[in-house]
Structures are given as C-alpha cells and as structure tokens.
Structure 1
C-alpha cells in the first residue's frame, strides 16, 4: 500500500501544469425507489492545450512490464467509469483514457492509450448499469424486508439471570462505537446475547453487516443455529458460513486452474447466475448449500461462498478472515477503509496466540538448500541468490545462534533479491515442472519480507538451532495488540467474549483495547451448589516433585473421586508424558475392571479418532435444551449429547489445553467430573522467556503474562466442561498445591469463590458429601 502511494505521488509530480491529480468524481443514477451513486477519485485528469481531455489511471505492480501487453480489464473498466463522468460533466464529444503501469521496484513506466467518443462511453456505461440494476433492485428490496423484520423481532427466550443486562451492554457499546470485553460464564447464553443486540443495531442503521468470528467449527455452527432461531421468530437475514478451501473443494486436490478443475473452467461466465439463484431461493448459505449450488451451476464453491458474503447480512467465519493479512476478506477490509461492520469475536481468549502467529514469520536455512537442489537442473538463474541468502544464514548460525538478533537487515536484503528473482522466473516459466515447489517458497519468503516491514518494538527477531539440526530465523510478534486493533478499527464496534477471559485487563491490553473501551463480567445463570470445587493441598505437578510416589498420590485422588459415584470423568494432565505415568500407575494400583473403563487421548488423533473418543461419553441423540440449539452432524453433533447413568464409570485421560479440554459440550450425565492435574503452565522455552522479559521491561509481571495467565486459562477451560446446563451437577478437582497461592486464586472466576481444601485423607469424604447433598436436594 505504501509503495503504491509512493508510485502515485512520483508519477503525479512528474506531470506538467496540464495534469490535475487526485480528482474527486461523482455521478448519481436515479431510479424509482432509490438512487445509485458512483464515486471515486481519478489519479489524474489531463487538459491539453488543444482541448483534448484524458483520464489517467495509475497502477503500481511488481510484475515485469514486458509481461503486461494490454490493460487488465478491471483496471480499464474503472478508468472508463471516470471517463464517462468527466465527459458528462464537461460536455465532451470524445475523451481519452491512459492506463499507466509502473513497476514499483524499478520505477519503469508503461502506458496504454485509447480514445473514445462520448457515445461509446455512454453506451458502455448504461449497458453496465442495466446489468447491475437487477442486483440493485434485490439489494433495495431485501434491505426493506430485513429492516422491517428486525423492528418486529423480540428476544426469543425468557431472559436468564443477568442476560438482559448483557444484551444492553452490547447494544450500548455499539451505539458508542467502542469495544466491549465480556467475561461470559457458561450458561449465560453469550451467543444469543451478542447476536440479538447486534441485529437490533443493524435495524437502527447503526451498522449494516455482522461478522461473527471464531476459532472453532463448533462455535460457528452454534452461531448459525442462533440465526436460525431468530429466523424462526421472524427475522429475515442472509447468513453465510465461510469454509476453508480444503474443506469445501469437491476435487481430490485443490488445483485452482481451468486445466485441472472443471469448476474453475468457465467459472466467471456462470457465477452470477449461481449467486442470483441462491439469493432468491435460500437465506442460509452454509457449506452444504453452497456445494449444492456450486454443483448445479458448475462453479468453484469456495469462490462462490466468498462472493455470497457480499450479499450476506451476517458472515460467520474464522478469525483469519478479518485479522490475517494474507487471508482477510479484501472485499471488505482494504487498507485504510472503515465499513459499517460489527465484529463479534467468540472464544476471544484464543486470539492472543492466534494473533502472534498471524503476524509472525520464519524461515529455515535448510529450505534454501532444498530449493537449490530442486532448481539445480533447470537453469533458473536462482542459484547465486540462494547462495547469498544461505551465506547470511550461515554467518548468523555461527555468530548469533540461539539468541535475539538486533537486526537481520543484511539477510533481508539478500532475501528480497532472491524473492524478486523468483518472481521473474515464475512469470517467464508458467509451465515449469518445479513451479509448485518454487511457488511455496516464494510465498514463505514474501511473508517474511512483509513482516520485516512491520517490525517495531512489539517484535523480536531470534535464531534457533532446532532439535533436528535445522537452523531457524523467526520474526516473532510478542504483542499483537496494535495489529489487532487496526483490524477492528475497520468496523463500527467490536464485541469480544469468552467464558475464560480472566484477568480481563490482560486480554484487553493484548487484544487491542483502549482505556475508552468497556469490559463487563456477566452474571452466571448457574447456582454455586451445582458444582463442588476441590483444591488438593498435598500433591503437585512441579518438575522437582515428579516421581513414582507423586504419581501414586495423584492416582489415589482419582480413585477416591470416581469411587463415590459411577459416571463419566475426564482427567487432564500437563503433558502426554505425565498422563502416561499416572495412567500406568492407576491401571496397576487402582483400576477396577468390573466398574471402570479407562481411555486415553492419543498424541495424534484424526477427526474419526476424536469422534470415537467422544462417543464413549455420549450417545447420538442431541440434547434438546440449549440456548445455542446446536444440532450439527459428525464431530459437532457429538458435543451436545447426554447418556443415562450406567453401572460403570468411564475415565478419559486427556491433555490440558488439548482438543477435549475446550469446545465440547457434554451435558447432564455425559460428564460429571473434571480432575485437573497441574496449573497448566506452558513449558519453559525460548519464546516464553522472550515474552516474560518483554513484559517485565514493560513494567508488568512477565511470569504472569508468559506463563500463569495462559496456564490458568487452560485450567478454566477444562473445568468448564462439567457444568453446561442449569440441571447439571458435578465435581471439579484441582490437584496442585499451587492453587492455594494468592497468585492463582486471584485469577479464579467469581463462581469459584466457594471451594473446599482437601488432602488425600479427606477427599473421598468431601466428594461423598457433595453427592449425598445433591441427591437430597433433588
């Protein structure tokens, strides 16, 4: 963007007095019920002494100009719109159009000239408007219908405790055009409590489109079902669910070219008909629906789903589509623009680490050598550039290995030259047999170069010699707050929420919040008597205490807890290795085959294996009573299920922070206990130490920011699997004496204030008393 602006200014300054730069243009086309305003800013309008008028459209490119043999159609169409407006405004008989292409590396310029009569540009423009009118008619009519339905819409449930206040907080935040950070305990109904007021705000013209952003498929499904509930109550709303290309592509391999893909061949000639048909016939554009219409019209389903977002009132998608600079929806989020958008960010605690990854980049020295071997026999001319990069990395490996690097400017310079050379080769050799291998490296190098331009005090560059002997250089984004804030500033307001958003000031700081933004702790709809929280005072997961005796004590706790009532339990451990040690001890010393069954989370599990694991906790009937009304199939359908109590107990040995400690929703007897071993602290590593040092230097508690806060988030997520509805009862046991320390207890949510401290000698009695009380209470 900065290079493009520089090129524009450079060319404009070179022009003479005849050249008027950055000319604002506007033309209004009136229709019966609405008017269409076409506006833009022409890069230049030239008035020659001979009376000739020329519209100049400037385009910066990194492509070699010899490969541009004619203007790109979309560029020429933009210039013709400007030419029409100028011709009408100045009453011209003819008008010239000049397309100016400039290479942003070499500053070389190439021109394309064309002259049109006023009749020609008029005919072209009005033909364009005739084609567009049916889309404009639909947009107008749908907007009227949507707004009327929103005005009549009422909240579809009886408000739970604190829910009405939460809805009000969300609406007021939108009115004030701020961000709101919500600690939303399980059961508050956070999905409906954020979507409903956002929809009502759209009805009051405070915004026009909602983006529901989340990191997990199941929460996207919940959002879709929430819009469906509102539709059942009269809401007219177009909603699209964006699915990753790899998951929606009907081909065995995603090869997006007309030669390999029948859906890509002729896609653009059929896509408008496909979109219009889908708009007329459906309101929810989920994966299956898009695939159905893509098959019917033989168009690319991924591209179609992206196109449908332009006509959707709500876009449900991954964080990437807003925050990732390489994936974000350019249809909406062009740099420097602000749109009438509302951002609802679900499970926003995940966005801290996701943000760090999205704004970081790395390269591995050995990949340069692999690239050299790949291109060796094809005379690409890249060898010398690869060697220079490798030489720079070798110097870093010898002199600055396993340390923070103050500057990698010399390496970056050589990488930039290699990147440019690869780009030239790819343009000249479209049929190269090693094109895919080179292209993948080209993208990775480009990302590294892009991040290098963003480097500031929020970043650290470091090198590492990895266990496999490879050498890595990484541009690591320690604090993603500024980049995340810039993305959210492209909308009207942002609502970020999570059931584990504590301490909220930590998340507010790292997720781009400001002092003017709001935070709220939503009231829990559950009663404290539903859960017994136990804190063990005589066991720990500290490395210094890990031994057979400690494993035995932990296994003994597990045995005492599950012995008091048969049912389903999940036991969470800080690592697979720790899990294995305690599991083996438990099976040797405490396992009772007649009354128990034990299963373990494997280190690598595909989707089928995950489903099988969860099936042991749930049957195939969805739970009928959930605010989110999720009824999705496959993996999603398994996380909203109940089973009746059995004679046997099922013990699932899992990893804290893994796939079963977050995002699953096992209600009732599906899960009656979670036993959490350890405080969830991330393993000490180079990056964690960088985080600690960075925040210490910022005057914060570096240990908290790097270790304690992320660890406690994992603990809270795992504990949150137990109480999922107003009728649930269950045990949460925290097996580590560090939970008794003030540093950890100040991070406990309000719902955890009533706990019982136990030892190995008193744990069984405490659990037994809870179940007896629960039985009597029922």
Structure 2
C-alpha cells in the first residue's frame, strides 16, 4: 500500500518556486479583506455558469507515494472565448504598480494556476486548458493579465516536476510521522501519579478537543496545569483528532514552562516537533530591525536558502527553542524570526504569544481554514487575554504626526500627493478639536466615527504606500512607515467597529487624540477563534468563570471546570488586617500597615513579598517600615526595571537566609505573576488592597458599557480584574506539596460578602488581626 501525502496547491508551489529576498524594508500590510475585495471586483464580472472559489483535488503517484493535492482556484470560466476551452484564473492583489509586472515576475503564481488547471483537466478529462494570471491593484482596481494555453500533457509534466522537487521533503515528513505516532502511542503520563484534580483536568481538555468545544478551566497553582493541557493535546494528535496545537501565553516564563513540559515528555519517548516563536525585536541579529536586503545579509536571498535550512533543521531537531533557531539561522544565513515562522507551519506544537492567534495584525496568516479545523489553541494565564484583546482590537491616532509629515512634504519636495493627504488629515483633526472644545484633557465620547475621517485616512495610506514603495526621501522614512501601519490598523479597527466599541476624543492644548476603544473584546475574540477545533482557556485565577466566559467570547454550552487545590489547608495561614486602603484613607493606613509588617516579620522570620496597589503607596509604607531600625534585608521594586535588575531582585530571595528578607512590589507587576519561589525562598506574602484598577478615563467607559448592557459594570470594570491581581499575587506563595507560609490580606473589603466570595476556598477561613 502506498504512503499518502496531503499537500495544498499553494504549499507545493511555494516550496518549489519561492526565492529571492525578504521584502525590501516595507510590507504593505494589506489585510485579507483588502485582497478579498480585489478578488471580488473581478469575480463579479463572471457569468452565472462560471465558478468562483472552485475546490479541486487530485492524486499524483510518484515512486511509491500518493500525493493528494488540493486547493481552491479563484475562477473557473467556461467557453469564455467561444473555443470550448475552460479557463482557470488565478487572481493576485498588489499594492505596487501593475504596469511594471511581467509574465515572469512571479513563478510561484503561475505554478499555483497551472496546478489548479491540471487538477481540473484531469478530473474532467479535458485535453486543453487556458491558464490566466490576473493582477489587480487593491486601491485603484487597475488590472493586468497574462495567459497561457496548455495541454493536459504539459500540465501533467509540470505537476510531476513539482512533486519530484517536493519528494525529499515529503519523505522526511513521512519518516518523522511514523516515529511521532509510535512515540505518542506508547507515551505514559510523565509523572509517577496524577496530583489531586489533575486527571480530571487533563480529561476535560481531551474531551473538549474530541467534542470540538471551548473549555474554561480554573486550575489552581500546584495542579500542574501546563502538563495537564499539553499531555492530552499530544494524545489527541496521536488519535488523529488534531494535526497541531498552539500553546499561547502572555509571558516568557510560561513559555519556558511549556518547553520544559515538552522536554519531560520527550524524555519519556515522545517524538514531537515544537517551535517557540520569539518576538522579532528580541531575536533579530542586527542592531536595527530593518528587513532590507541591502542592510541585512539574513534577509538578502532568504527564500533561496530557506528550504535547505528547514530540511537541515528537521533532520536533526524536534525541540526548536530560541537557541536552536538562532544556531541554524546563523548556519544557513537566514532571518531567525522568519525562519521560526516558516518552521512553525510544519510543527505539531507552536509555543507563542497570544498575538499569533488572536491579533489580526500578526497572526499566522498562512494557516488556512482547513488546517484550523485540525488545530487546538491552549490559552495559558487566560485572565491576561481580556485586557490584551482590548489593546489588539482598539486603534488610536493623534494629530501631531500628520502635521509633521505635512511640514516635511511641502510643495516642491516631490511628494505633493502625500503632502495633500497629510494636510487633509491634519485639517480634519483641527475641525474635530473645534467641535469638541479647546482643551481640558477629558474624554469626549462621540456618537460615531466622524464620517469624513476614514476616507481621508484611506487616501493618506494610499499616498504613504506609494511613497514608501518608490523610496521617496522627502519624508522621514521611519515616521512615514510607522504612521502607515498605525493608520492601516485604525482603518481595520473602524471596519470592525460595532456596538461593543466606542469612539472618544481627547484634546490637550494643540494636539488631538481619537481612539476607537474596544470595550468588550468578546466578539472579536470569538471571530479570531472561529474555525479552530477547540480552544482551552485556563488559569489559576480564572474566577469567576462566567465573567471570563462572557468577556473571552464563550457561549453557555461551552465546557467549564474548576479544579480543587491539591494543597492541604494546613500549608497556608491566612491573616486579615481590616483597614481601609482606599485612596482617600491611605495617609491614615500606612503607619498601621508598616507596624503590622514589623510584627509579622518579627514573629515569623523568613522571606516576604509585599504587594501594593501603587508605587507611591508602596514607597511611603516602605519608608516607614525601614525607618525604625530594620536590620533585615529589603528590596523595593522600581518602575521600568531591566531584565537584569528583575533577575537580581528575585535572586535575593535565598533559601536559608540568615536575615529576614522583605521585597516591596506592586500588584499586577512583574513580580506578582509568573514567578516561582519555591520552598523557603518565599515564606510569606502580604497583599495590600483589593487590586481595583485606577478610577477614571477608559475604565469608567468600560463600567458604563457593561451597566448599559445589563451586567454589573463595577464588577466587570473594577472588582473582577482587581481581585484577579490579588489571587495572582497570593499564588506566589504555595508552589509545591512541601511549601507552607503566611498570607496576609490588608483591606476591610475582604470582610464584605461579595469580595470574600471571590477568595479561593483554600484561603478560607481567615483569621482577623487586631
């Protein structure tokens, strides 16, 4: 029986024909919607008997392997020229000048078109096919077409040439797939036994994948949530429920935990390709992140070398971490970031930031709908995704950059079109400022996006794109590039603007800011998650689950589970100091908090982290605490600490230290989440306040929106996000079965039933301090 290899037309064509350099410094950032619009402009001219987005599939056998090739061609036109010959049309949108294109400009496009023609001719037993390649400008809709008349024999020879070139890569994939399936089939759970609740959690993840459902799970610290999600996802690949999964995170530390869990399974016999994607700015080899072939030798000729680099990588490695990417990228002289993305498309597991799945600006766009149906998304620390999504789906602009570009491109500079476009946008901002008043700095909510603004921005984007593609030196290139992408994002945000968003203006002196604020990201998260087989949202602090299910785009019929803590209640001693930490009372409370810290650290020596709602409050209490003859070791978090400074801060928490160590930090900051100080490295945590976000501005707009839509706006905007910070900070304390410690909650609101109900059961009952 022959082996079967499934490959899309696009993947096959790109593998064989891609070549050249990474785009010379500027990418148009065109959206899928823009490309679709250009396609439709042509498809609307088809006759009723013609077919759009026609699915074609066929098998080609080559030296014992059956290649199943499939895809959707843009157009199938019948007897268009009256000669009885069917036409396959491949449509490509472009932001560049179509007049400069030649028939040989893009061999990969011809390869796609000829593959579609072959598959259709073979299925319908046609002797000839007309193959047309049509380019259309995204803004002007100017078109240029090239045609070839080819026999079925010529098409057959061409596709067999493609298959022969692809064959070594396919055989490598088949050999790896056999090793992967054998390894997964025999893979045991990589620990001697499951912790309390862990088997249930892993089973819930597997069932959500099998049943094509979303899962919302609260899995407390100590559950082993990373392995509890990765192990069933790996098993689902072995059962052919999945082809791949994404493990998405908000922080580097949780990405490292995923890598460690995969390594643990590999030590138990797993063979699985995984790729960790590192942000371009962090992994770039050059001093400046400029993808220009004249500047960067790793961009120059990238596509000429990438196939050999990937073949070498997959011949030797399965765990593709940042270090591995960098080593092979240097060896083959390819861009490490683009290399990691190309490797990700062939991986079974991708460890990456939320952006690569949920942000339309940077998502893995080549993951087609067919692939998504066989892909699961595991969302670690999912409580972070609500605010991150608000950022992704909001857009804002200020007046100042347009005024500067207007000045740089005055008449006579050769950039008249760009000058007029920047001037028009600047004048629109002036009109907006006049309509809103001349200052105050407050937020002025508008009923709708100013109707004239988006067309002016579209004209600016078109002029900026033309100037950048032409290498126009009149305007500062970096400023123009930044503004092009910012404007494009604003336009895309405007296109998805709905009842879950609002628009506001802020006037400060001569400048004006307009923002499209995504108040409720659930709709966009649901849209970006559409098509995946399953999405698993999990966190130690995903509580209350109905709130997160609502804001993360879930439905009532989604699965949900809350895993009990695996730790004993005796491991944690929870104390409550009932003082007011409200902003108006902080001056009166700081002395009492400082005295409590002295008392607790004197009675229970050890290593403590003390979390505050703000830097000012923290510094005032720290000054009182340290000013009374403190003889221990103290550390105080500073705003904007470097990675080295953060590492030094954490390294000070030593097990068996001779003196008590107290670290002062802010809630919701870098030390309140994702750090692991096990054993005696941390014996106490003090949490000052209930973590409420600062009142005012956007937060009040969020509150009003949820009030107006029948939900408790204060809970959604303040209480639930605030208490999540409390739970995260408290979760730093008990990390293993042998840990124990003291947790002090400082705020009288913890005694109120609605706040007390949000505390984990393992924190109850609390002992009130006097």
State the TM-score, normalizing by the size of structure 1: 0.90
Name the stretch that deviates more: 750-759 or 510-519.
750-759
Corresponding position of 1:630: none
For 1:559 and 1:470, locate their aligned partners in 2 and report how far apart those are by CA, in whole Å: 49
Contact 1:270 1:299 in 2 (8 A): yes
Match of 1:454 among 483, 496, 500: 496
For 2:366 and 2:39, locate their aligned partners in 1 and report how far apart those are by CA, in whole Å: 22
* 2:573 counterpart of 1:532: yes
Contact 2:389 2:525 in 1 (8 A): yes
Contact 2:683 2:741 in 1 (8 A): yes
* 2:425 counterpart of 1:406: no
* 2:207 counterpart of 1:159: no
Would the alpha carbon gap of residues 709 and 17 (structure 1) be closer, same or farther in structure 2, given more than 3 Å must change? closer
- CA drift at 1:434: 2.9
* 2:266 counterpart of 1:231: yes
For 1:542 and 1:19, locate their aligned partners in 2 and report how far apart those are by CA, in whole Å: 69
Contact 1:12 1:44 in 2 (8 A): no
Unaligned stretches of 5+ in structure 2? 1-31, 438-442
For 2:681 and 2:413, locate their aligned partners in 1 and report how far apart those are by CA, in whole Å: 60
Would the alpha carbon gap of residues 333 and 29 (structure 1) be closer, same or farther in structure 2, given more than 3 Å must change? closer
Corresponding position of 2:659: 648
Would the alpha carbon gap of residues 611 and 470 (structure 1) be closer, same or farther in structure 2, given more than 3 Å must change? farther
* 2:295 counterpart of 1:260: yes
Match of 2:118 among 63, 84, 96: 84
Match of 1:603 among 633, 639, 652: 639
For 2:49 and 2:551, locate their aligned partners in 1 and report how far apart those are by CA, in whole Å: 50
Corresponding position of 1:395: 431
Contact 2:409 2:474 in 1 (8 A): no
Would the alpha carbon gap of residues 419 and 79 (structure 1) be closer, same or farther in structure 2, given more than 3 Å must change? same
* 2:463 counterpart of 1:421: yes
For 1:433 and 1:692, locate their aligned partners in 2 and report how far apart those are by CA, in whole Å: 42
Match of 1:373 among 398, 401, 407: 407
Would the alpha carbon gap of residues 469 and 649 (structure 1) be closer, same or farther in structure 2, given more than 3 Å must change? farther
Deviation track 1:453-484 (CA, whole Å, cap 9, x = no partner) reads 00000101111235x86421101111111211
Corresponding position of 2:585: 545
Contact 2:415 2:472 in 1 (8 A): no
- CA drift at 1:11: 2.7
For 1:136 and 1:125, locate their aligned partners in 2 and report how far apart those are by CA, in whole Å: 15
Corresponding position of 1:486: 527
Instruction: Map residues 233-248 of structure 1 onto 2, 5 A cutoff.
Output: 233-248=268-283
Name the stretch that deviates more: 660-669 or 32-41.
32-41
TM-align CA RMSD: 2.1
Corresponding position of 1:503: 544
Q: State how many pairs are aligned.
A: 727
For 1:318 and 1:28, locate their aligned partners in 2 and report how far apart those are by CA, in whole Å: 37
Contact 1:185 1:523 in 2 (8 A): yes
Corresponding position of 1:690: 701
Contact 1:26 1:37 in 2 (8 A): yes
Corresponding position of 1:559: 598
Would the alpha carbon gap of residues 23 and 495 (structure 1) be closer, same or farther in structure 2, given more than 3 Å must change? closer
- CA drift at 1:189: 0.6
Match of 2:673 among 648, 662, 665: 662
Deviation track 1:599-640 (CA, whole Å, cap 9, x = no partner) reads 11011211111111111114xxxxxxxxxxxxxxxxxxxxxx
- CA drift at 1:60: 3.3
- CA drift at 1:671: 0.9
For 2:451 and 2:475, locate their aligned partners in 1 and report how far apart those are by CA, in whole Å: 33
Match of 2:58 among 23, 27, 50: 27
Corresponding position of 1:196: 231
Report SS of the residue matched to 1:368: helix
For 1:13 and 1:443, locate their aligned partners in 2 and report how far apart those are by CA, in whole Å: 30
* 2:578 counterpart of 1:519: no
Contact 1:46 1:56 in 2 (8 A): no
Corresponding position of 2:144: 110
Match of 2:484 among 442, 445, 454: 442
Name the stretch that deviates more: 407-416 or 275-284.
407-416
Name the stretch that deviates more: 418-427 or 12-21.
12-21
Contact 1:183 1:521 in 2 (8 A): yes
Corresponding position of 1:631: none
- CA drift at 1:22: 4.3
* 2:307 counterpart of 1:272: yes
Corresponding position of 2:93: 60
For 1:86 and 1:185, locate their aligned partners in 2 and report how far apart those are by CA, in whole Å: 55
- CA drift at 1:78: 1.0
- CA drift at 1:90: 5.3
Corresponding position of 1:771: none
* 2:215 counterpart of 1:180: yes
Corresponding position of 2:28: none
Would the alpha carbon gap of residues 112 and 559 (structure 1) be closer, same or farther in structure 2, given more than 3 Å must change? same
Instruction: Map residues 609-628 of structure 1 onto 2, 5 A cutoff.
Output: 609-618=645-654
For 2:160 and 2:64, locate their aligned partners in 1 and report how far apart those are by CA, in whole Å: 18
Would the alpha carbon gap of residues 202 and 745 (structure 1) be closer, same or farther in structure 2, given more than 3 Å must change? same
Corresponding position of 1:624: none
Contact 2:202 2:229 in 1 (8 A): yes
Contact 2:406 2:420 in 1 (8 A): no
- CA drift at 1:36: 1.9
Contact 1:192 1:226 in 2 (8 A): yes
Corresponding position of 1:626: none
* 2:623 counterpart of 1:584: yes
Corresponding position of 2:16: none
Match of 2:398 among 330, 340, 364: 364
For 2:435 and 2:585, locate their aligned partners in 1 and report how far apart those are by CA, in whole Å: 38
Corresponding position of 2:711: 700
Match of 1:712 among 695, 706, 723: 723
For 1:154 and 1:142, locate their aligned partners in 2 and report how far apart those are by CA, in whole Å: 20
For 1:672 and 1:21, locate their aligned partners in 2 and report how far apart those are by CA, in whole Å: 66
For 1:686 and 1:439, locate their aligned partners in 2 and report how far apart those are by CA, in whole Å: 30
- CA drift at 1:10: 4.1
Corresponding position of 1:127: 161
Deviation track 1:724-778 (CA, whole Å, cap 9, x = no partner) reads 111111111111111111121111112122211112xxxxxxxxxxxxxxxxxxx
For 1:138 and 1:430, locate their aligned partners in 2 and report how far apart those are by CA, in whole Å: 46
Contact 1:333 1:490 in 2 (8 A): no
Deviation track 1:532-563 (CA, whole Å, cap 9, x = no partner) reads 111112x221122122x421111111111111
State the TM-score, normalizing by the size of structure 2: 0.91
